[in-house]
A and B are shown apart, each in its own frame.
Chain A
Amino acid sequence: MKHILSALVENKPGVLSRVTGLISRRGFNIESLAVGPTEDATKSRVTAIVNADEVAYEQITKQLHKLISVYKISDLTNDNAIERELVLFKVAASPERRGEVVEVSNIFRAKIVDVGKNSLTIEATGDEAKLKGLEDLFRAYGIKEIVRTGKIAMSRNAKE
Chain B
Amino acid sequence: MSEEMNNEQLDERGMRTAQTVGAPRGLGSRNPKQGMELTGAEVVVASLEAEGVTDVFGYPGGQAIKIYDALYDSTQINHILARHEQAAVHEADGYARATGKVGVVIVTSGPGATNTVTGIATAYMDSVPLVVITGQVPRAVIGTDSFQESDIVGITMPVVKHSYLLQSVEEMAKTFREAFHIASTGRPGPVLIDIPSDLNSEKVIFNYPDKVNLASYKPTYKGNIKQIRQAASRIEEAKRPLLYVGGGVISSGATDEVLRVAERLQIPIVTTLMGKGAVPASHPLNFGAVGMHGSKYANLAMTESDLVIAAGARFSDRVTGQLSRFAPHAEVIHIDIDPAEIGKVREAQIPIVGDLKGVFSLIDSQMSNDQPHPQTQEWLAKLNGWRERYPFYQPAVGDSPAEIVPERVMAELSARLDPDRSIVVTEVGQHQMWAAQFIKRECPRTFLSSGGLGTMGFGFPAAIGAKIGRPECQVVCIAGDGSFQMNSQEMATAAINKVGVKVLILDNRSLGMVHQWQKLFYNERYSQTLLEPIPDFVKLAAAYEWEGERIENPDELEGALQRMLESDGPYLLDVAISREQNVYPMVAPGSALSDVMGAIDIAVGAVRTGMPDVADAQQVASEAAPKEAPSPCAQIDEQFGGRWQSDPADTGTRIGQHLAKAAQQEHSHSQEGGER
Contacts and interface: CB of A to CB of B under 8 A. Distances in A.
Interface of A: 10, 13-14, 17-18, 21-22, 25, 27-29, 31, 51-53, 55-56, 58-59, 62-63, 65-71, 135, 146
B629 interface: no
A45 to B, nearest CB: 14
Interface in B340-399: 340, 343-344
Given A27-B658, A56-B658, A71-B215, A51 B665 contact: yes
Given A27-B658, A31-B669, A69-B216, 17 more contacts: A14-B154, A18-B157, A27-B659, A27-B662, A51-B669, A55-B343, A56-B658, A59-B340, A59-B344, A62-B339, A65-B339, A66-B340, A67-B216, A68-B161, A68-B214, A71-B216, A146-B676
30 contacts: A10-B216, A14-B153, A14-B154, A14-B165, A17-B154, A17-B157, A18-B157, A22-B158, A25-B158, A27-B658, A27-B662, A29-B666, A31-B669, A55-B343, A56-B661, A59-B340, A59-B344, A62-B340, A62-B344, A63-B340, A65-B339, A65-B340, A66-B338, A67-B162, A67-B216, A68-B182, A68-B217, A69-B162, A71-B216, A135-B676
Interface string B213-239: 011110000000000000000000000
A56 B664 CA distance: 14
A71 B659 CA distance: 30
> What secondary structure prevails in chain B residues at the interface with A?
helix
Contacts of B154: 14, 17
A13 B658 contact: no
Nearest to B154: A17
Interface in B285-342: 338-340
A111 B161 CA distance: 47
B158 A21 contact: yes
Interface of B: 153-154, 157-158, 161-162, 165, 182, 214-217, 338-340, 343-344, 658-659, 661-662, 665-666, 668-669, 676
B662 A28 contact: yes
Contacts of A146: 676
Given A14-B153, A66-B340, A29 B216 contact: no
A133 to B, nearest CB: 13
A9 to B, nearest CB: 8
Nearest to A58: B343
A108 B165 CA distance: 47
Nearest to A18: B157
Contacts of B214: 68
A51 B338 CA distance: 25
B660 to A, nearest CB: 11
Contact of B216 (A25, A27, A58, A68): A68
B183 to A, nearest CB: 11
B662 A68 contact: no
Nearest to A69: B216
